[in-house]
Structure 1
Amino acid sequence: MKAKWIELLLCISLVFGLTGCAVTDSITGTSSSAVSSAAVSNQQNQATHVFPKDHVVDVKITMAAADFQDMLDNASQEEFKTASVDYNGQHFDNVAIRTKGNLSLRSVVSSDSDRYSFKISFDEYISSQQLYGISKINLNNNYSDASYMREFLTYELAERLGLPTPGYSFVNVYVNGELKGFYLAVEQIGDSYLERNFGNAYGALYKANGGNGSELTWLETMDAYKGLDLKSKSSNDNVILDMLKELNTGTDYSKVLDVDEALKFIALNVLTANMDSYLGTNKHNYYLYENKGIFSVLPWDYNMAFGGLGASGIFIDEPTQGTLSERPLIDKLLKVDAYKQKYHQYLTESIEGYLSGEAFAARVQELSQLISGYVEQDPTAFYTYDEYQKGVTQLTTFAAQQVATIAKQLDGTSPSSGDGSGSGGGMGGGMGGGGMRGGMNGKPDAGAANVQDAVIASQTTQAGQAVLAAQAVPSGQSATEVQPTQMAGNGQTSQTAQSQAAGAVNQTNQNGQTNQTGQTGQAGQMADRQGAPGGMEAGGQGGPPGGMGMGRGGQGGPGGMGGGPGGQANQQEGTVSEAVAAGTAFVILLLSCVFVARYKRKRL
């Protein structure tokens, strides 16, 4: 009798256990569905209310006046202050705000301007506080961009290429009721960005800071990679070391790297002649994210794109500022014919699509109509409104020249690579650009307009324009071969190894070094006395084939370890509930085995 009761209890336990598993699965499924629905809702709200592309958003910051002044007076410290923020009508208290930036921060500190970029952190003091899932937003001051559009357009092109891209939109920034400037808001690469693009945020996230190892060469130990800052809470060093070793010494790149995204990343920087990137001497402005053992290269920071460093003529298959072998992400992938063909396909699609003459000019005009009124009213602008208008014109001209140069390389009428030494060229005008010195209250001084006028008057920026940089022609090639259809405009001369000429690149702006003051620009262009930001006139990084020699540059060089915290790593959702369900199922299985064994013994 007792045995029968035990059997009955075992049966009841089995029934309840199976029912419990079903309920657990149901709850887990409902929870996952709810999370998915919330994520979709957040993404819709982000696109509509946080990063709209068709109108300008107001960001109103309220904080103690003394705190704001202290933040400006000690901007280099990048310390958070407490504020309230109304972001497009959404109100938040206990929000953290600080100054941010690398060279742009140092340059503004050393100028008369107080137009700093800012980082807003909604979750710094309240961990659960977010703006439609977003925890951090950067307010970029459009440093060194007279057109206000470079970064916006580059991220838009990145989206067209299919790259994972942060949210971005134009904003008017107010502090304590006073308009402080017309900025570009950019989503910080963090949880919301990672969830949206990868479906998780628990992988390892690294940010390249330009230090040792950020070129991604093989250095054997993680301690050697000082140039890769870990931005997630944790990481398995073996995973990134496996990727770096395979990239440098192996051939099966796709098992450790999202090759397609890497090719698009390279294409994006080549298309926009962005040497303030992995391509350039500073080898920075990108993230690495590990998703289930596969690394993606994430685009970041494009205010110097579209010739911000003066580069317009670069070899598409050797686009590095220095030896190609020192950039294995490019060198190794482009040595695989299938990958190079796909890379060329991305270039072709872009120059025939988004960047094609009429389409790109129309988009620039559309954005100009959207933002011109705000630019005109910008109280801390680095440029006059007239300089902004000229910057917009120069932007479309530069893009047209870049498209023509790339097209010639793709169809074989111009060389697409050299001798392995890279596209070379110094940083010309550097980050300071062509003479746009920030004067009192952020206004350009009198020299700015003169430089801009000189550039417009003395240059005809046609496709394949003459190279104006201190760069030797790659061995075995004549100047004509390297610089197709050289058309020097209005007094310009074609020069290749021109280090002795006025305005030649004799100061490489790296790691905070400054140019000599009062230097003479190329071809009669004026030099800046100090060289805070310089719009489209960044100085002549001549590159093969056919660069745009622009104004001589100014202060500062890329470098620094700036940038805010990256994404917060989350544990994979559902882990606890899955463990409970698995444990329950295991117990039920054991009970079932006991029941069956006992039943069989009685039958026998």
Structure 2
Amino acid sequence: MSQNYDIKTYNIKMSTENLSLLKNRDMWHETPIEATLFIDDLSYPIGIKYRGSHVRKFKKKSFTIIFEEAELGVKEVHLNAEFMDKSLIRNKLSLDFFSDLDVLSPDSYHVNLYINDIYQGIYLQLESVDKYFLKRRNLPYGPIYYAENDNANFSLISPIKKDTKTSFMSGYSRKEGDRSDDALLKKFIYQINTLPTSTFEKEISNLIDVDTYLSWLAGVVCTQNYDGFIHNYALYRQPKTGLFEIIPWDYDATWGRDINGKIMDYDCIPIVGYNTLTARLLDISSFRKQYKTILQNILNDTFTKDYLFPKIKTLHKLLAEYVNDDPYLKNYLDQFDQEPSVIFDYIKDRRNYLINHLSDLD
């Protein structure tokens, strides 16, 4: 899909009563509130609610917008506040990076958000991973599962309870498909953990698109999303091939910053990443060699200063025109100005680290 750098203006209007309800009811309430979205000269009836997990507690809220009818090729979009990322670009930079690696990835672009004509700041609109996501890419309809928490670690052991999981579905919620599809996901998780090494290489290739998974793995390792291995992804089962494909999601804690916005050491995540599926794949010499080749190509062509710096500079310059008016950024303007340098330093250090550790994959 295209990598859109345009900034649109959204004005969401609702009654005084609905606005009060949105602001004052339990922040975890999932029932959308009626409103109207205005984009240029067009208007769309919508429902709006808060979204996210820990981000709901931040001053600058994130939202999910649900259209009454599928509009602009989508039914649902997410407006991310990106509150902990004072550059406002890490999520988009990551998702565009995955697209460049030929990994299915949501479209994203920045918007200026108003609610009842009052400016809320700059937001990142993220495409929902659902049947419309598939349709826009001319992909056949198939089941989609969201990895909702750390139990989606491709293991039989819960990292949350430190005990055997009570269900193979633990950590996942079904976005598309029906209950009959759940059996296929359960089989996938079970076989990841129980296939003998002697047959793993052959059998796993009948369950997941290994090439795409290894490209995704390289992307997570480059961007260093700590949660990305056991969270922050979706699974789509391609009905024509019968193979699961992995889709990245929620990548603001990347490019040198952690989930709290603190500097993250460039060598925090090893070149092999982690989670049970990754460990089993890289235990097979042919897959490990394939991963090394993929990563080498990325380090030569995509995860480079020449490739990434122009994108970072373009995004930063684009947003700089608006940050002075963002009510949640006006106290962080110095940090906004410095963030490209933080990302540049991270890319340089992380790239050198990965190049120096390619021999770990021999």
TM-score band by shorter chain is 0.7 to 0.9
Partner of 2:31: 79
Note the C-alpha offset of 1:56. Answer: 0.5
- What letter matches 1:98 in structure 2? K
User: What CA deviation, in whole Å up to 9, does each residue of 1:399-442 have, x standing for no partner?
Assistant: 111111111112x3xx569xxxxxxxxxxxxxxxxxxxxxxxxx
- What letter matches 2:173 in structure 1? D
Secondary structure of 1:301's match? coil
Secondary structure of 2:74's match? coil
User: What CA deviation, in whole Å up to 9, does each residue of 1:240-275 have, x standing for no partner?
Assistant: 222223322221211011111111121111001110
Alpha carbons of structure 1 residues 152 and 191: separation in structure 2 relative to 1, 3 Å:
same
Q: Is the 8 A contact 1:315 1:416 kept in 2?
A: no
Partner of 2:245: 296
User: What CA deviation, in whole Å up to 9, does each residue of 1:513-550 have, x standing for no partner?
Assistant: xxxxxxxxxxxxxxxxxxxxxxxxxxxxxxxxxxxxxx
Note the C-alpha offset of 1:350. Answer: 2.2
Partner of 1:58: 9
Partner of 1:488: none
Partner of 1:244: 189
Secondary structure of 2:154's match? coil
Does 1:182 find its partner at 2:126? no
Which of residues 335, 349, 366 is equivalent to 2:283? 335
Partner of 2:20: 69
TM-score calculated relative to the size of structure 1: 0.53
5+ residue gaps, structure 1, are: 1-42, 124-128, 321-326, 418-604
The percent of aligned pairs where both chains have the same amino acid is 21
User: What CA deviation, in whole Å up to 9, does each residue of 1:123-166 have, x standing for no partner?
Assistant: 3xxxxx11222000100001210111100110111011001111
Q: Is the 8 A contact 1:276 1:305 kept in 2?
A: no
Alpha carbons of structure 1 residues 248 and 317: separation in structure 2 relative to 1, 3 Å:
farther
Which of residues 145, 166, 182 is equivalent to 1:206? 145
Within a 5 Å distance, the mapping from 1:539-554 to structure 2 comes to none
User: What CA deviation, in whole Å up to 9, does each residue of 1:200-230 have, x standing for no partner?
Assistant: 22x2221112254x11124799835321112
- What letter matches 2:14 in structure 1? M
Does 1:150 find its partner at 2:101? no
- What letter matches 2:105 in structure 1? T
For 1:68 and 1:347, how far apart are their aligned partners in 2? 48
User: What CA deviation, in whole Å up to 9, does each residue of 1:484-525 have, x standing for no partner?
Assistant: xxxxxxxxxxxxxxxxxxxxxxxxxxxxxxxxxxxxxxxxxx
Within a 5 Å distance, the mapping from 1:33-182 to structure 2 comes to 53-74=4-25, 75-93=27-45, 95-106=46-57, 108=58, 113=59, 115-123=60-68, 129-182=69-122
5+ residue gaps, structure 2, are: 158-163, 259-263
Note the C-alpha offset of 1:53. Answer: 1.7
- What letter matches 1:373 in structure 2? E
Q: Which has the higher strand share?
A: 2
Which of residues 266, 278, 290 is equivalent to 1:312? 266
Does 1:231 find its partner at 2:179? no
For 2:90 and 2:361, how far apart are their aligned partners in 1? 25
Partner of 1:367: 315
Partner of 2:261: none
- What letter matches 1:179 in structure 2? Y
For 2:167 and 2:250, how far apart are their aligned partners in 1? 26
For 1:260 and 1:78, how far apart are their aligned partners in 2? 37
Q: Is the 8 A contact 1:209 1:229 kept in 2?
A: yes
Alpha carbons of structure 1 residues 382 and 398: separation in structure 2 relative to 1, 3 Å:
farther
Q: Is the 8 A contact 2:131 2:176 kept in 1?
A: no
For 1:139 and 1:88, how far apart are their aligned partners in 2? 18
Secondary structure of 1:223's match? coil
Partner of 2:234: 287
Partner of 1:532: none
Q: Is the 8 A contact 1:221 1:241 kept in 2?
A: no
Alpha carbons of structure 1 residues 221 and 270: separation in structure 2 relative to 1, 3 Å:
closer
Note the C-alpha offset of 1:66. Answer: 2.7
Within a 5 Å distance, the mapping from 1:156-555 to structure 2 comes to 156-197=96-137, 199-201=139-141, 203-212=142-151, 214-218=152-156, 223-236=167-180, 237-250=182-195, 251=200, 252-278=203-229, 283-292=230-239, 293-309=242-258, 310-314=264-268, 316-320=270-274, 327-381=275-329, 383-410=331-358, 412=359, 415=360
- What letter matches 1:135 in structure 2? K
Q: Is the 8 A contact 1:168 1:184 kept in 2?
A: yes
Alpha carbons of structure 1 residues 241 and 222: separation in structure 2 relative to 1, 3 Å:
farther
Alpha carbons of structure 1 residues 382 and 351: separation in structure 2 relative to 1, 3 Å:
farther
Alpha carbons of structure 1 residues 353 and 211: separation in structure 2 relative to 1, 3 Å:
closer
Aligned length: 341
Q: Is the 8 A contact 1:211 1:228 kept in 2?
A: no
For 2:120 and 2:73, how far apart are their aligned partners in 1? 26
Note the C-alpha offset of 1:59. Answer: 1.3
Alpha carbons of structure 1 residues 382 and 329: separation in structure 2 relative to 1, 3 Å:
farther
- What letter matches 2:16 in structure 1? A
Alpha carbons of structure 1 residues 287 and 54: separation in structure 2 relative to 1, 3 Å:
closer
Alpha-carbon RMSD across the aligned residues, in angstroms, is: 2.3
For 2:149 and 2:233, how far apart are their aligned partners in 1? 10
User: What CA deviation, in whole Å up to 9, does each residue of 1:283-318 have, x standing for no partner?
Assistant: 211111122231111111101111322142046443
- What letter matches 1:239 in structure 2? L
- What letter matches 2:147 in structure 1? A
Note the C-alpha offset of 1:276. Answer: 2.2
For 2:94 and 2:71, how far apart are their aligned partners in 1? 24
For 2:315 and 2:341, how far apart are their aligned partners in 1? 12
Q: Is the 8 A contact 2:168 2:186 kept in 1?
A: no
For 2:21 and 2:330, how far apart are their aligned partners in 1? 22
Question: Rg bigger for which structure?
Answer: 1
Secondary structure of 2:47's match? strand
- What letter matches 1:209 in structure 2? E
Q: Is the 8 A contact 1:136 1:187 kept in 2?
A: yes
Partner of 1:569: none
Q: Is the 8 A contact 1:143 1:382 kept in 2?
A: no
